[in-house]
A and B are shown apart, each in its own frame.
Chain A
Amino acid sequence: MVQYNFKKITVVPAGKDFIDIILSRTQRQTPTVVHKGYAISRLRQFYMRKVKYTQQNFHEKLSTIIDEFPRLDDIHPFYGDLLHVLYNKDHYKLALGQINTARNLIGKISKDYVKLLKYGDSLYRCKTLKVAALGRMCTVIKRVSPSLAYLEQVRQHMARLPSIDPNTRTILICGYPNVGKSSFINKITRADVDVQPYAFTTKSLFVGHTDYKYLRYQVIDTPGILDRPFEDRNIIEMCSITALAHLRAAILFFLDISGSCGYSIAQQAALFHSIKSLFMNKPLIIICNKTDLQPFENLSEEDMKLVMEMKAEAMKTVIGQGGEAIDEEGVLLKMSALIEDGVIAVKNAACERLLNQRVELKMKSKKINDCLNRFHVAMPKPRDDKERPAFIPEAVLEARAKEAAEKEKRKLEKDLEDENGGAGVYSASLKKHYILANEEWKEDIMPEILDGHNVYDFVDPDILQRLEELEQEEGLRQEEEADDVDMDGEELTPEEKEALAEIRRKKSFLIQQHRIKKSTAESRPTVPRKFDKDKKFTTERMGRQLSALGLDPSLAIERARGRSLSRKGRKRERSLARGGSDGDDAMDMDVDQPSSKKLRMRSRSRSRSRSRPPGEVVPGQGFKDSAQKVKAIKLVRKSQKVRNKDARRGDADRTIPTLKPKHLFSGKRSLGKTSRR
């Protein structure tokens, strides 16, 4: 038998998506380029490959669907019936059958078109044949898409079904809606079933697990059943009926004796009698629930009679099983799920009955004999008639007796808590049993953090002893050190101290400089390139070039020299030469050689830099008022900023410092080609 795992069925794609997936896979995984001039066999092979590849993919995917969905006849009849109830066996089979036909049709299409492709004599013909083939396969899938949608829904629902093992120990809970079945299962297992006051809160089967005598039991909660003829039952009730019919389990029939579920005991008894045929050969226990609302003893006469009838029925099942005289209490139990009274008793009774029944069945079956042959408890053969019971020393017996007595007498913390007001009111003193050197320290508050450190890191019971040891060690070490050759140079001389300070200062200065150098472009001042680094532009060169052209360079040289103002002690030749150049107007400027200081004071740069307030209007400059001048200055500065940041010497400086900056000529593009930069 194939093993099915309902939770591991692969997703069934919708029709359109299915087609998209397969076609795009064909496009990606097969070669895509073909030209008219290729050999005809190559063309044919190219297109045949595509058709075959598509068919193979369809086949694969459809086969996984068909194989992974369970066949209703191959699985346990409980699941088969459950799936029939939920999804309608016919519809399910039809859907899978349609998928199967689709798979075969696609195979046939592919075969036919590959055969036809062999006769293709041109690229166009082969291409149209391939298009027709793929198109037909996709139409097949499109026609089948409703089945695919249905199967996807079925798969989603199937994955959420509870995983019930039909062969293991199971306890089944059934009864009218709202009697307290889900509350019961919430109490004994960890299943978190929704409990609400309206009927049919539980709409499907739920599973919980509980333990008894080191064995695991499945507890199955069913939706409530109403008393109706079999044909009228809806899907939800049919789930419970299926579970009752197919699972070999102990059945707990829940009875609401208070009537708060909305149905009287008479109705519930009627239901019991109508489904008692399903209780054949199964240990049955009748549970009277909600005893907190209506104690069992206060039931009316008719109700008590009905309950006793049901109990008689249940007793019949007991006697029918093993013939053992089970006490009457094992068949009819009372409990209340709300106040948790009797819940454990019910669980134990149910588990016990089930276990006994299963063991008995196993003993009766043939298979056990094979096992029994292998069991053999060896008893030693009695040598003589002397009795040799187990020997237990006196002291142990006494201790046992004392312990038993103590256990009864000993007061538990829980009792203490109950006495003093219950869980919320009383908080146990956890420090009661501390073992300390001094009894009075028990209730002391111990700090945990002191000065930012954990106290426990520093606490040690042997701390005094360790301190002593450490001090001893320290003393030893110091003596050893004193024995060593005494070192000088531990102490610094004053000169050395000074040198050290000097070194430190210099180091910090270097660090500062480095920081400044490392500063960003925005804060760093930009200095233009140095003009004439190599000192090529000299007056001699100018003179040579001019004389090469045939001009007299001397005047030009003098003028150039004269314009460089930062020279001290200019001789009179300069003014004379200037006068000479005029020719007619030989004005003999016989001025005294002005002192260098005066020269400096009169120099052009000095005149320009004489401090004035920024907005002051100087008459010759052409500004209307101070505001205009300020604005003009601002405009000038703004226009100069960009240029200065670029480290250009002036407006006309068009040099490009780096002709091929790296950041413009390297790097890849994430989308597109890099044919333009």
Chain B
Amino acid sequence: PQGDYIELHRKRHGYRLDHHERKRKRDAREVHKRSAMAQKALGIKGKMFAKKRYAEKALMKKTLAMHEESSTRRKVEDEAHEGAVPAYLLDREATTRAKVLSNTVKQKRKEKAGKWDVPLPKVRPVAEDEMFKVLRSGKRKTKQWKRMVTKVTFVGPSFTRKPPKYERFIRPSGLRFTKAHVTHPELKCTFNLEIIGVKKNPNGPTYTSLGVITKGTIIEVNVSELGLVTPAGKVVWGKYAQVTNNPENDGCINAVLLV
């Protein structure tokens, strides 16, 4: 059959004599079938169905509530928001009293406390045996001075290994990353930016020097594609970002830009 043969047949012969009846009954049966399925489905299938169905029901309830809203009358909310000034005071500048501290004092306090204004001020400390894996070397495999890093690292483009015989810390190439998914906190969008370097790892200076990236590490990323410009007119091409996930568990580095 060619073309829209189904519609053509319908146009010429119409529907079966019992078509509408059967359709109506079939649709009515769907309700029972669905409930039987919901009750009998076991395992992962049942869970997925339950979740989907729950979402559907929540939506249904919302639409029903919305439809019912129009029939009731409500008081109009007309409150003035905080700090609203009546019209006859509009031109005057009212000063809100607040404690104004000088910036320098604030900075000194932060430095003393060791806290900086970053998205993740505290992170879980990573122990050394979690970070390094001991590699045995030597003819009898008794020497244990070599360590392999088990977390994600960044090594930079001009990196060459030390001769393997003298290499104490091995950073496997499978765990070396060059790019990070950086989110701009205000624009709320994510970019895939290149890492320029590791600025500070909160677990210690050894890790910073090795370039290990764990959760909470501050990295410097190349933001030239964002097109940021300083007030002076210079193009900003590097900014700091803090890592927000565990890269060794997710296979990618997610960071938040520090503006």
Interface residues of A (CB under 8 A from B): 24, 27, 112-113, 115-116, 118-119, 121, 124-125, 128-129, 132-133, 160-163, 191-194, 203-204, 206-207, 671
Q: Are A133 and B251 in contact (CB under 8 A)?
A: yes
Q: How far is the CA of A203 from the CA of B5 in the complex (A)?
A: 12
The closest CB in chain A to the CB of B1 belongs to A160
Q: Which of A27, A115, A129, A194 contacts B11 (CB 8 A)?
A: A194
One digit per residue, 1 when the CB lies within 8 angstroms of any chain A CB and 0 when it does not, for chain B 1-17 equals 11111001001000000
Which residues of A are found within 8 Å of B251, using beta-carbon distances? Answer: 112-113, 116, 129, 132-133
A162 with B150: in contact, given A132-B250, A132-B251 (CB under 8 Å)?
Answer: no
Known: A116-B174, A119-B175. Is A161-B150 also a contact (CB below 8 A)?
A: no
* B135 in contact (CB, < 8 A): no
Tell me how far the C-beta of A150 lies from the nearest C-beta in chain B, rounded to whole angstroms. Answer: 20
Chain A residue numbers with a CB within 8 Å of B8 are 192, 194
B249 within 8 A of A: yes
In the complex, how many angstroms separate the beta carbon of B55 from the nearest chain A beta carbon?
Answer: 13
B72 CB, nearest partner CB in chain A, Å: 37
Residue of B nearest to A126 (CB): B249
Query: Closest A-chain residue to B7, C-beta based?
Result: A194
Do B2 and A160 touch (CB < 8 A)?
yes
**A128 and B250 alpha carbons, distance in the complex (Å):** 6
Complex contact A128–B249 (CB within 8 A): yes
By the criterion CB–CB under 8 Å, are A671 and B40 in contact? yes
B5 / chain A contacts, CB cutoff of 8 Å: 160
Interface hits, B165-195 → A, CB 8 Å? 172, 174-175
B249 touches A160 (CB 8 A): no
- The distance in angstroms between the C-alpha atoms of A671 and B249, with both chains bound, is 39
Chain B residue contacts of A132, Cβ below 8 A: 249-252
Q: Tell me which residues across on chain A come within 8 A of B150, comparing CB atoms.
A: 119, 121
Q: Complex Cα distance A115/B152, Å?
A: 13
- How long is the Cα–Cα vector from A191 to B1 in the complex, in angstroms? 9
Whether the Cβ atoms of A206 and B2 lie closer than 8 Å is yes
A402 and B133 alpha carbons, distance in the complex (Å): 114
B44 CB contacts on chain A under 8 angstroms = 24, 27
B: residues with CB less than 8 A from A are 1-5, 8, 11, 40, 42, 44-45, 133, 150, 172, 174-175, 246, 248-252
Interchain CB contact under 8 A, A119 and B174: yes
Q: How far is the CB of A156 from chain B (nearest CB, A)?
A: 11
Q: Provide the bound-state CA to CA distance between A204 and B44, in Å.
A: 47
Pick the contact of A207: B2, B4, B11, B42 (CB < 8 A).
B2
- Residues of chain A with a CB closer than 8 A to B246's CB: 128
Bound Cα distance A27, B44 (Å): 10
What is the minimal beta-carbon distance from B102 to any residue of chain A, in angstroms?
A: 46
Contact assessment for B2 and A162 in the assembled complex, using a CB-CB cutoff below 8 Å: yes
The interface residues of chain A lying within 8 Å CB-to-CB of B42 are 671
Q: Which of A118, A129, A194 has most B Cβ within 10 Å?
A: A194
How far, in Å, is A101 (CB) from chain B's closest CB?
16
Q: What chain B residues lie within 8 Å of A194 (beta carbons)? A: 8, 11
When chains A and B are docked, how far (Å) is the Cα of A70 from the Cα of B82? 65
A671–B252 Cα distance when bound, in Å, is: 44
Q: In the assembled complex, which residues on chain A have CB atoms less than 8 Å from the CB atom of B11? A: 194
- How close is A664's CB to chain B, nearest CB, in angstroms? 25
Known: A194-B11, A671-B40. Is A125-B249 also a contact (CB below 8 A)? yes
For A116, the chain B residues whose CB sits under 8 A away are 174-175, 251
Please, could you name 8 A-B residue pairs with CB atoms under 8 Å apart, sorted by A? Answer: A27-B44, A115-B174, A119-B174, A119-B175, A128-B250, A132-B252, A194-B11, A206-B3
Asked if A118 meets B249 with Cβ closer than 8 Å, knowing A27-B44, A160-B4, A671-B40, the reply is: no
Smallest CB–CB gap between B2 and chain A, Å? 4
User: Is there contact, CB below 8 Å, between A121 and B133?
Assistant: yes
Contact A162–B3 (Cβ < 8 Å): yes
Task: Please name the 3 residue pairs, one residue from A and one from B, whose CB atoms are nearest each other, closest first.
Answer: A128-B249, A162-B2, A132-B250
CA distance A210 to B40 in the complex (A): 57
B172: chain A residues at CB < 8 Å are: 119
Complex CA gap A426/B250 in Å reads: 89
Inter-chain contacts of B45 with A (CB < 8 A): 24
- Residue from B3, B4, B174 with most neighbouring chain A CB atoms (10 Å): B3
Q: How far, in whole Å, are A124 and B249 apart by their CA atoms in the complex?
A: 8
For A124, the chain B residues whose CB sits under 8 A away are 249
Query: Which residues from A are CB-within-8-Å of B40?
Result: 671
